[in-house]
Amino acid sequence: MKLHDDIIRLNRDGWNRLAYSAWVNANGTPEQLARRLVNDPWRKMAPFRSFIDDLKGLRVANFLGSNGKMAVSMALLGAEVTVVDISEDNARYARELAAAAGVHIDYWVMDVMQFPVQEYAGAFDLVMMELGILHRIMDLRHFFGIVATVLKDSGRVVVRDYHPFNK
C-alpha cells in the first residue's frame, strides 16, 4: 500500500507543478478558451461524433478529465458532467473555464482509483476518457471495474488514447 500511496503522491505533485500556467500557454486563459468552446462545443467533441450524437440529459463521468475542455464542451451540449482528476491545478483551470462558459461541472480532485464507486454505482450514462490516460493506470482490471460499476446497465464507455511513445 505504501508504494501505491507514494505513486499517487508523485503523480499529484507532478500534475500540480505549473499545470495551470501550462494550460494558459497552450489554450489561452480560461475566458479565452471558453469563448471558443461556446461558439462551437462540438469542435472538441468531433472525434467522438460517430459514438455520440446527443448529450442532452446524459450524466457523464469524465475520468482523468484534466483541464476540463471536454467536460465543459459536454456541459455546453446539455450533459451533467462529473470530472475526476488528481490535479488541483487542472481543477482550477477547469472550474474557471466552466464559469466563463456559463456552465456547471462537478470536479473531484482525487486519484480515480479512490473514486467512491459504491456511492455512484449505476449513476452514469457515459464514461469518457481521452488522450494520455491508460498508461498512467497501474491496475487496468481494477480501473475498468470502477468504470463498469459506475455505469448504468445501458451505459457506454468511450476511450480515445495514444501510446506515450507516440509523443
pLDDT per position as a tens digit, 137-149: 778 899 999 999 9
- What does CATH list as the number for 2-166? 3.40.50.150
Show the DSSP H helices in the chain as ranges.
Answer: 2-15, 19-27, 30-39, 41-45, 69-76, 88-101, 140-150
What distance in Å separates the CA atoms of residue 128 and residue 48, rounded to the nearest whole number? Answer: 10
C-alpha 77/C-alpha 34 separation (Å) is: 13
Write down the domain spans for the chain. Answer: 2-166
Nine cell digits for residue 8: 499517487
What is the per-residue pLDDT across 106-138, written as a single tens digit (0 to 9) for each?
999 999 999 999 999 999 999 999 866 777 777
